Amino acid sequence: MSPNVPRRYWLTGASSGIGLELAKVLLESGAQVALSARSREPLEALARQFPGQVLVAAADLTNSQAVREIGAQIAQAWGSLDTVILNAGTCEYVDARQFDASIIEHVVRTNLLASSYCIEAALPLLRAGQTPHLVGVASAVTYLPMPRAEAYGASKTGLRYLFESLRIDLSPEGIDVTVVSPGFVDTPLTERNDFPMPLRWPADKAARHIFAKLNGRPLEIAFPAMFIATLWPLSKLPNRVQLLIGKRMLRSPPPHKDDL
């Protein structure tokens, strides 16, 4: 792409947390960014702050028709996309003593199915873009089973597999695929957690780190490095040892949280 032509992004989950901070970093770089979230006001505030750079595409991304309409909106406005960053997600914890399948359903719909709707809408636009790049925000929790994370971990593990399989299938078309695996980050999803969150990063630091790494188009962006360096070896331990580690982490269920 010519250096005089701004890169065009679609970023989901842009109203808070990593998404909001990443939106600011992208816009400060001069990019044009389609911003999606259920909350319209934070997106419109960014549009006022960066006039001419923002396409507000507020919607509930678990609604497949609403996502198709966003795709049509972007196609009409720009005709193509260069990078898609699927960041929107939710976290709800499971209490196994009163197992509620609706929690699994809600989290999987939000984290996995909504992402698949966005991929369906995005791929034709990426195929028309320059050096296309598809990015999905998973989680470091996918490395190791955690207590109460049945819904969140299952959805993010599914998201990781979806993106890693797509990486293979899209490679002949020159569409690069990156998985982002954050550790603990200060966001509305983590602020009420009732357990220690080692090496926690502020959201703006996480956003700057992701943006700095995107140009290299790595297969994965995992951080913080020290946290990942500890977690990765634990994921290779025998299942029985992982079970003992998980038991030591058991605590009472925290409240549900949602961030789209």
159 — phi, psi (to 5°)? -65, -45
For the chain, where are the E strands, in sequence order?
8-12, 32-36, 54-56, 83-86, 89-91, 133-137, 176-182, 185-186, 201-202, 220-223, 257-259
Q: Write the secondary structure of 162-209 as one string of H (helix), E (strand) and C (coil).
A: HHHHHHHHHHHHCCEEEEEEECCEECCCCCCCCCCCCCCEEHHHHHHH
Contacts 24+ apart (CB under 8 A), 63-67: 64/117, 67/114, 67/117, 67/118, 67/120, 67/121
User: 203-214 and 17-28 are packed helices; what angle lies between their axes, rounded to 10 degrees?
Assistant: 50
User: Cα separation of 13 and 39, whole Å?
Assistant: 9
User: Helix, strand, or coil here: 127?
Assistant: helix
Q: Are 227 and 199 in contact (CB under 8 A)?
A: yes
Has 152 been annotated as catalytic? yes
Task: Please tell me which residue in 9, 117, 152, 161 is annotated as part of the active site.
Answer: 152
Give catalytic residues, as residue numbers.
152
